[in-house]
Structure 1
Amino acid sequence: MIGCLCIHGFTGSPFEVEPLGNFLKENTSWIVETPTLPGHGGELARLRGVAYQDWVQEAEQSLQGMLAKCSTVYLVGFSMGGVISGYLATKYPVKKLVLLSAAAYYINPKQLLQDIKEMAAEGMRGTLGNNDLFQRYRKKIKETPLTATFQFQRLVKELRPTLSQIEVPTLIVQGELDGIVPVKSASFLYNTIPSNEREIVYLPKSKHLVCHDEDRDQLFTTVEKFLIK
Structure 2
Amino acid sequence: MEERAVQYPVLKEGEPFYFEGSQVGILVIHGFTGSTQSMRPLGEAYAEKGYTVCGPRLKGHGTHYEDMEQTTYQDWIASVEEGYAWLKERCDTIFVTGLSMGGTLTLYLAERYPDIKGIIPINAAVDIPSMEEMNTAQEPRFLDAIGSDIKKPDVKELSYERTPLQSVKEILKLMDEVRNRLDRVTCPALIFVSETDHVVPPLNSQLILEQISSEEKTLQYMPDSYHVATLDHDQGMIIEKTLEFLENQLS
Question: TM-score, normalising length from structure 2?
Answer: 0.76
1:76 corresponding residue in structure 2: 97
From 39, 43, 52, the equivalent of 1:17 is 39
Q: Does 1:184 align with 2:206?
A: no
In 2, Cα distance between the equivalents of 1:194 and 1:157? 18
Q: Which digits, 9 at most, give the CA deviation of each residue in 1:66-96, with x for residues without a partner? A: 1122001111121111111111112221111
2:212 corresponding residue in structure 1: 193
Q: Does 1:90 align with 2:100?
A: no
Instruction: Tell whether the 8 Å contact from 1:86 to 1:162 is kept in structure 2 after alignment.
Output: no
1:144 corresponding residue in structure 2: 163
- Extract unaligned runs of 5+ from structure 2: 1-22, 132-152
Task: Give the partner amino acid of 1:8.
Answer: H
Task: Measure how far apart 1:227 and its partner are.
Answer: 1.0
Q: Does 1:32 align with 2:50?
A: no
Instruction: Tell whether the 8 Å contact from 1:169 to 1:198 is kept in structure 2 after alignment.
Output: yes
In 2, Cα distance between the equivalents of 1:222 and 1:189? 19
Secondary structure in 2 matching 1:54: helix
Secondary structure in 2 matching 1:40: coil
- Extract unaligned runs of 5+ from structure 1: 110-129
In 1, Cα distance between the equivalents of 2:188 and 2:30? 20
Instruction: Tell whether the 8 Å contact from 2:127 to 2:179 is kept in structure 1 after alignment.
Output: no
Task: Measure how far apart 1:132 and its partner are.
Answer: 5.6
Task: Measure how far apart 1:59 and its partner are.
Answer: 0.8
Structure ranking higher in helix proportion: 1
Aligned residues: 204
Task: Give the partner amino acid of 2:92.
Answer: S
Task: Give the partner amino acid of 1:3.
Answer: G
2:238 corresponding residue in structure 1: 219
Instruction: Tell whether the 8 Å contact from 1:73 to 1:96 is kept in structure 2 after alignment.
Output: yes
In 2, Cα distance between the equivalents of 1:152 and 1:25? 30
2:181 corresponding residue in structure 1: 162
In 1, Cα distance between the equivalents of 2:241 and 2:128? 24
Higher relative contact order (CA 8 A, sep 6+): 1
From 120, 124, 134, the equivalent of 1:102 is 124
Moved more, 177-186 or 99-108: 99-108
Task: Measure how far apart 1:105 and its partner are.
Answer: 2.5
In 1, Cα distance between the equivalents of 2:183 and 2:65? 32
Task: Measure how far apart 1:165 and its partner are.
Answer: 0.8
Secondary structure in 2 matching 1:150: helix
Task: Give the partner amino acid of 2:46.
Answer: L
Q: Which digits, 9 at most, give the CA deviation of each residue in 1:15-40, with x for residues without a partner? A: 111111111112x1111110001100
Runs of 4+ in structure 1 over 4 Å off: 130-133
Secondary structure in 2 matching 1:172: strand
1:45 corresponding residue in structure 2: 66
Task: Measure how far apart 1:143 and its partner are.
Answer: 2.4
CA 1:99–1:108 in 2, change beyond 3 Å: closer, same or farther? farther
